[in-house]
């Protein structure tokens, strides 16, 4: 069996070692050294060039290196008959939950204010509510969102989630559909975006939705950069509608040096680093998917492109 690897980050050797440890008979090729395209059965990719996957006539499955699949959905020539498997991995989930919990606690305890005060040499204490008095809202209750919600509930936060359809999760208030978005936003003092990127969710963090949050709310975007309208977020920060924001993803990456977000005193920027897929654990799930195909079994975590995730 032959697998083609394509990533924007040069970690090919690590992925090769991890996958061949699971599948000793695997031939691992790194794009653009494709060799004979007809020999490629599997592709493990992030942001491949448009049309490249369509050149592989015997492709059996496409594996995404990350939880998002918009980098594949945007390819008009993506072979429709080949299943696309989104990354569901314990390290990816744990890493995202760690980042979300850290960011929620940072905003809950107003660490962003103390950081600013330190630079200004201001000694001033701020009284913050207890965790169960703080309303946290999570946009998106998929694998990543539901795990973060579970851990935040354990810490005592008043957690609600919004999704396309109703979700039932212990300790988490469910809002769903178009009618549920407004009341969800109106109660979210710390808003976390973990949505998939679809036609409906593109640009969802805009002036209209941000205006529905309680004044002085905090925003954490770890979904996709295209979820937010940067100018609208800047306006909300400057008006005081948002008191602070943690932004890990952006419509254009790397974030241009000219962006006003870099120097904004109320913004923490991280370079799309909230959670990174670790080859040592992700290889296990990829290998199991390949084995399932070999046994004639259905794949798990296959993308439904009509839903967008």
Task: Point out which residues pair with 161 in neighbouring strands.
Answer: 138, 174
Beta strands in the chain (DSSP E): 2-6, 27-30, 42-45, 61-64, 84-85, 135-139, 158-163, 172-176, 190-193, 217-221, 242-247, 267-269
**Sign of the CA dihedral running 56, 61, 65, 67:** positive
| Residues belonging to the active site | 224, 272
Region for 47 from its dihedrals, namely left if φ exceeds 0, alpha if ψ lies in -120 to 50, beta otherwise: left
Which helix (H) or strand (E) covers residue 174, if one does? Answer: strand 172-176
CA 302, CA 154: separation in Å to the nearest integer?
30
Give yes or no for a cis peptide into 254 (omega within 30° of 0): yes
Two tokens, residue 123: 């000694």
Radius of gyration of the chain (CA): 21
């Amino acid at each position: 069996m032959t697998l083609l690897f394509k990533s924007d980050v040069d970690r090919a050797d690590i992925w090769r070692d991890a996958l061949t440890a699971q599948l000793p008979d695997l031939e691992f090729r790194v794009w653009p050294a494709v060799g004979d395209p007809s020999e490629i059965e599997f592709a493990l990719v992030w942001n491949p060039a448009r049309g490249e996957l369509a050149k592989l006539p015997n492709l059996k499955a496409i594996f995404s290196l990350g939880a998002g699949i918009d980098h594949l959905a945007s390819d008009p020539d993506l072979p429709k008959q080949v299943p696309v498997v989104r990354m569901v991995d314990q390290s990816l989930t744990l890493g995202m939950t760690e980042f979300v919990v850290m960011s929620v606690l940072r905003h809950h305890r107003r660490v962003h204010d103390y950081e600013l005060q330190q630079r200004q040499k201001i000694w001033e204490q701020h009284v913050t509510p207890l965790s169960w008095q703080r309303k946290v809202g999570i946009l998106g209750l998929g694998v990543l969102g539901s795990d973060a919600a579970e851990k935040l509930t354990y810490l005592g936060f008043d957690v609600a989630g919004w999704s396309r359809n109703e979700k039932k999760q212990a300790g988490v208030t469910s809002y769903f559909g178009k009618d549920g978005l407004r009341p969800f936003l109106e109660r979210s003092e710390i808003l976390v975006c973990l949505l998939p990127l679809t036609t409906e969710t593109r640009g969802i963090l805009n002036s209209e939705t941000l205006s529905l949050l309680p004044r002085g709310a905090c925003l954490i975007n770890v979904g996709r950069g295209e979820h937010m309208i940067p100018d609208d977020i800047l306006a909300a920060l400057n008006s005081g509608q948002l008191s602070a924001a943690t932004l890990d993803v952006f419509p254009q990456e790397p974030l241009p040096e000219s962006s006003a977000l870099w120097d904004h005193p109320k913004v923490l920027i991280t370079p799309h680093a909230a959670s990174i897929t670790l080859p040592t654990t992700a290889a296990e799930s990829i290998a199991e998917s390949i084995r399932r195909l070999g046994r004639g079994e259905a794949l798990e975590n296959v993308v439904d492109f009509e839903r967008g995730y």
